[in-house]
Structure 1
Amino acid sequence: MRIAQIAPLYEAVPPKFYGGTERVVHALVEELVRRGHEVTLFASADSRTSARLVPMAEGGLRLLGARDGLALHIAMLEEVYAQADRFDIIHSHVDYLAFPFARHSPTPTLTTLHGRLDLPEIRRILSRFPEQPLVSISHSQRAPVRDLSLRWQATVYNGIRLENFSFSSEPADPPYLVFLGRISPEKGPIQAVEVARRLGLPLKIAAKIDPADRAWAEVNFLPLLSTPGVEYLGEVDEQQKAELLRGALALLFPIDWPEPFGLVMAEAMACGTPVVAFPGGSVEEVVKEGVTGWICRSRTVEEMVEAVKRVDKLDRRACRLHVEQNFSSSAMAERYEVVYRQLLEEARGRGEVLPASPPQPRGPASGLSPWRKQGERPRPHQPARLGGRPDGEGHPLPQE
């Protein structure tokens, strides 16, 4: 099957540091290639992939400090749909941005919604494109729009590459707690610090601070770093993250928002590390309470403190097995293959799609990516070599 994968341009695929959606796209692409599919990835030029890479920005826009990321995403979508007849399926991970292009393309487009759906603006855009095939990343993600007539194809849980998260049957000695993600009020870093303080346990915090949260963090979070035992590591790469999670006694996940998935929960459990979380969004779908973690339903620091005291009753092997069965890249790709086939069968039954054309040379007036010369193709596993710098900022897509 010839599949186009459209990734957000804000991070490389896989991301150097933070970036849940881009990490999921990488896991999916690599597994689809391994399964024999012909995959084309539209992403930033510093992406590393065994698929055919079409670079659509010089690099991940967040780390470049780009000022108009939306413009580059629109340019990328124009390029994707200019090549649409080369693909059997186009799979978009840029939420609603592809909808206007997909509506007028004979090649079926599947959109995975990676962000929150409880905002009025999201309801409005979804209701304007009810014919677009959609995938949710948790059942709870759909709750705010269940009253809309939308074309849901499936719920496909996010998957991780298990080889990146090795298992440990025991936490590090001395034990510590870990908090990973974003420093923002809805992620609960203040509560995580208080839990660790009351338990007298070290807390390692590996997280980014977005510009939108900087003012809040300076007032509410940064002063807490003087708390004994609290260590702020900033953003960490994949290997550092895996080491942190593998050695932790527990991952603290005291969220206060409708989490669409929460990839770090699966990453922690893959290492054998239980999750202690507040309920919200997908938490009760990802964490198997009493087996892979504890869900603190009163949403209090006191309950989370008591839950951490009980993590030694959980079998870390059960945490790993839960991820292998439900949240691996293999499980994710297998579920997407089913959706792709269903979508193709439906489209062909309606006479809406023809077999994809073989790749043809693009002429000089075509919509070639501005980040490479005509006829040039980055090698698999190597970033493209580019000059110039995109001029842009902002992130219209809600992220984990």
Structure 2
Amino acid sequence: MIHDHSVCGPLTAASRSVPTVVTVHGPVRGEAGDFFAALGDSVRLVAISRSQRAERPGLPWIGTVHNAVDPERFGPVPRGTGPVLWLGRMCPDKGPDLAVHACRAAGLPLVLAGKCTEPEERRYLDAVVRPLFGDDVRLVLNADRSTVDGLLREARCLIMPIRWQEPFGMAMIEAMAAGRPVVAMRRGAVPEIVEHGVTGWICDHPDELPDALLRVGDLDPGRCVAHVSALFGAGLMADRYETIYRMAMAYPGRAAPRGVNGRRRLAAGTVTREGR
């Protein structure tokens, strides 16, 4: 069988004699969802969150498998006392401007560590985000992995003031693996990933963010690490994909039967457990 993570490989799935499993990493609304719908029974789709799958429940989904991180990647990390950290692509959907406003209202310093390589990202930074800067904001652009890991070790917490339905959000599980709570808006997969009041605070309105930032000291970093180890470890992800592969091989030439969603069968339950 073939496991594809792109939108190119599935185009030839119908001509193959082996099953094709496709992990969908982006949103499935609009044209993206129409593309996967047009592939029909030639592919089996894997969602990276329940919220992503719920956007187009009629697509040929075979299961839901959350992304993973090595829970031992950061080692023992003391409670964070540094600045608040924002990680993401420099665009309105990720809310860097909201991060600045929230941290300033809370009286906390902020590090904006963002991808800013495309023209529209640079325009947004210069027109909207940079004018908000003061001595309380530090900008780190296009950081490599070691730099990001260092920022996570220093941070007080991660802020995710997103404006869109985030399909997953790797930054959240990376932060929790480092023992850093997550303060985020209730959008997309956030409620699947962050346990409110245990590994972070989930807010319904941007006005709630400053208070949540001030309350992260109430949360235990060890609970954040344990949460990731239990639900987002690489071994667990591999086990779930192995189950997906067996399911795909069991239904050659057609998509998985409707209803294989983590509840009907024991095998499917080990894949999703409704997103866990």
Q: Which amino acid aligns with 1:287?
A: V
Q: Separation in 1 of the partners of 2:158 and 2:247?
A: 38
2:70 matches 1:161? yes
Runs (4+) of structure 1 exceeding 3 A deviation are none
Q: Is the 2:94–2:163 contact (alpha carbons within 8 Å) kept by the matching residues of 1?
A: yes
Q: Separation in 1 of the partners of 2:154 and 2:76?
A: 10
State the 1:349 CA deviation.
11
Q: Deviations over 1:55-99 (max 9, x none)?
A: xxxxxxxxxxxxxxxxxxxxxxxxxxxxxxxxxx211111x3222
Q: Separation in 2 of the partners of 1:170 and 1:214?
A: 34
Q: Is the 2:175–2:181 contact (alpha carbons within 8 Å) kept by the matching residues of 1?
A: yes
Q: Which amino acid aligns with 1:327?
A: F
Q: Separation in 2 of the partners of 1:332 and 1:181?
A: 23
1:177 maps to 84
Q: Deviations over 1:352-381 (max 9, x none)?
A: xxxxxxxxxxxxxxxxxxxxxxxxxxxxxx
Q: Deviations over 1:83-137 (max 9, x none)?
A: xxxxxx211111x32222111101221100000112x212321221121101000
Q: Is the 1:164–1:239 contact (alpha carbons within 8 Å) kept by the matching residues of 2?
A: no
Q: Is the 2:99–2:161 contact (alpha carbons within 8 Å) kept by the matching residues of 1?
A: yes
Q: How many corresponding residue pairs? A: 253
Q: Which amino acid aligns with 2:236?
A: A
2:98 matches 1:186? no
Q: Separation in 1 of the partners of 2:5 and 2:91?
A: 24
Q: Separation in 2 of the partners of 1:349 and 1:102?
A: 11
Q: Is the 1:167–1:270 contact (alpha carbons within 8 Å) kept by the matching residues of 2?
A: no
Partner of 2:68, secondary structure, is coil
Partner of 1:164, secondary structure, is coil
Higher Cα Rg, which structure: 1
Q: Which amino acid aligns with 2:115?
A: K
Q: Is the 1:167–1:320 contact (alpha carbons within 8 Å) kept by the matching residues of 2?
A: no
Q: Which amino acid aligns with 1:158?
A: N
1:375 maps to none
Q: Separation in 1 of the partners of 2:254 and 2:190?
A: 38
Q: Which amino acid aligns with 1:207?
A: G
Partner of 1:228, secondary structure, is coil
2:173 maps to 266
Alignment of 1:109-124 (within 5 A): 109-118=20-29, 120-124=30-34
Q: Deviations over 1:1-33 (max 9, x none)?
A: xxxxxxxxxxxxxxxxxxxxxxxxxxxxxxxxx
Gaps of 5+ in 2: 256-276
Q: Tell me which of 21, 31, 39 is aligned to 1:129.
A: 39
Q: Which amino acid aligns with 2:38?
A: R
2:17 maps to 106
Q: Separation in 2 of the partners of 1:193 and 1:91?
A: 40
1:90 maps to 2
2:212 maps to 307
1:320 maps to 225
Q: Separation in 1 of the partners of 2:11 and 2:127?
A: 41
Q: Which amino acid aligns with 2:18?
A: T
State the 1:335 CA deviation.
0.6
Deviates more, 1:101-110 or 1:209-218: 209-218
Identity of aligned residues (%): 38
Q: Deviations over 1:151-177 (max 9, x none)?
A: 2111000011234333413113xx311
Q: Is the 2:100–2:110 contact (alpha carbons within 8 Å) kept by the matching residues of 1?
A: yes
State the 1:348 CA deviation.
9.2
State the 1:346 CA deviation.
2.6
Normalised TM-score (structure 1) = 0.61
Q: Separation in 1 of the partners of 2:76 and 2:17?
A: 45
2:166 matches 1:256? no
CA 166–205 in structure 1, closer or farther in 2 if over 3 Å, else same: farther
Q: Tell me which of 128, 143, 159 is aligned to 1:220.
A: 128
1:140 maps to 51
Q: Which amino acid aligns with 1:161?
A: D
Q: Is the 2:72–2:177 contact (alpha carbons within 8 Å) kept by the matching residues of 1?
A: no
Normalised TM-score (structure 2) = 0.87
Superposed CA RMSD: 1.8
1:279 maps to 186
Partner of 1:221, secondary structure, is helix
2:247 maps to 342
Q: Separation in 1 of the partners of 2:5 and 2:26?
A: 10
Q: Separation in 2 of the partners of 1:216 and 1:348?
A: 46
CA 349–295 in structure 1, closer or farther in 2 if over 3 Å, else same: closer
